[in-house]
Amino acid sequence: MSKQKVMMGNHALSYGAVVSKVNVISAYPITPQTQVVELLSELCSNGALDSEFIKVESEHSAMAACIGASAVGARTFTATSAQGLALMHEMLHWAVGARTPVVMGNINRSMGPPWTIWSEQTDSLSQRDTGWLQIYASSNQEVYDSVPIAFKIAEHKKVQLPVMVVLDAFFLSHTSENVMMMDLDKAETYLPKYKPKHKLDVNEPYTFGALTTPEWYYELRYKIQKAHENAISVIEEAQSEFKDMFGREYGLVEEYKTADADTILVAISTAASTAKDTVDELREKGVKAGLLRLRFVRPFPFKKVREVLSSAKKILVLDRNLSPGIGGIIFQEIKSAMYNESNKAPIYGFIAGLGGRDITTETIHNIFEEAEKQDPKNIIWMEVKA
How many alpha carbons fall within 13 Å on the CB side of residue 64?
10
Q: Determine, following the binding rule CB under 8 A, whether residue 64 of this chain makes contact with another protein.
A: yes
Each residue of 180-209: b (16+ CB within 10 Å) or e?
ebbeeeebeebbeebebeebbeeeeeeeee
Query: Nearer to another protein by C-beta: 211 or 386?
Result: 211
Reduced to 3 states (helix: H, G, I; strand: E, B; else coil), residue 179 is strand
Each residue of 146-155: b (16+ CB within 10 Å) or e?
bbbbbbbbbb
Q: Determine, following the binding rule CB under 8 A, whether residue 30 of this chain makes contact with another protein.
A: no
Q: Closest approach of Cβ 71 to another protein, in Å?
A: 6
Q: Compute how many other C-beta atoms are within 10 angstroms of the C-beta atom of residue 157.
A: 11
Q: Determine, following the binding rule CB under 8 A, whether residue 65 of this chain makes contact with another protein.
A: yes
Output phi, psi for 104, to 5 deg.
Answer: -130, 140
| Residue 224 Cα to chain centre, angstroms | 18
**Binding characters for another protein, 243-262, by CB under 8 A (x = yes):** --------------------
Which letter does DSSP use for residue 323 in this model?
A: B
Q: Determine, following the binding rule CB under 8 A, whether residue 79 of this chain makes contact with another protein.
A: no
Q: Closest approach of Cβ 58 to another protein, in Å?
A: 6
Contacts with another protein in 38-57 (CB under 8 A)? Answer: 50-52, 54-57
Q: Determine, following the binding rule CB under 8 A, whether residue 212 of this chain makes contact with another protein.
A: yes
Residues 74, 103, 164, 359: which binds another protein (CB under 8 A)? 74
Reduced to 3 states (helix: H, G, I; strand: E, B; else coil), residue 102 is coil
Query: Nearer to another protein by C-beta: 90 or 237?
Result: 90
Q: Determine, following the binding rule CB under 8 A, whether residue 76 of this chain makes contact with another protein.
A: yes
**Closest to 346 (Cα-Cα) out of 320, 326, 374:** 374
Return the bridge partners of 54, or none: 26
Candidate ranges 153-161, 207-215, 238-246, 295-303; the one touching another protein (CB under 8 A): 207-215
Round to whole Å and give the CA distance between 348 and 31.
33
Residues 8, 13, 19, 24: which binds another protein (CB under 8 A)? 24
Q: Determine, following the binding rule CB under 8 A, whether residue 73 of this chain makes contact with another protein.
A: yes
Q: Closest approach of Cβ 78 to another protein, in Å?
A: 11
Candidate ranges 72-80, 130-138, 241-249, 310-318; the one touching another protein (CB under 8 A): 72-80
Q: Determine, following the binding rule CB under 8 A, whether residue 213 of this chain makes contact with another protein.
A: yes
CB 160, CB 154: distance < 8 Å: yes
Round to whole Å and give the CA distance between 261 and 310.
11
Q: Closest approach of Cβ 195 to another protein, in Å?
A: 10
Q: Determine, following the binding rule CB under 8 A, whether residue 207 of this chain makes contact with another protein.
A: yes
Q: Determine, following the binding rule CB under 8 A, whether residue 67 of this chain makes contact with another protein.
A: yes
| Size of site (CB under 8 A) for another protein | 42
Residues 26, 160, 239, 269: which binds another protein (CB under 8 A)? 26
Round to whole Å and give the CA distance between 290 and 288.
7
Round to whole Å and give the CA distance between 190 and 116.
39
Output phi, psi for 339, to 5 deg.
Answer: -55, -45
For residue 170, the surrounding DSSP H or E stretch is none
Candidate ranges 67-75, 289-297, 356-364, 370-378; the one touching another protein (CB under 8 A): 67-75
Residues 7, 30, 43, 66: which binds another protein (CB under 8 A)? 66
Catalog residues that contact another protein under the rule CB under 8 A: 23-24, 26, 50-52, 54-58, 60-61, 64-74, 76, 90-91, 94, 98, 200-202, 205-213, 216
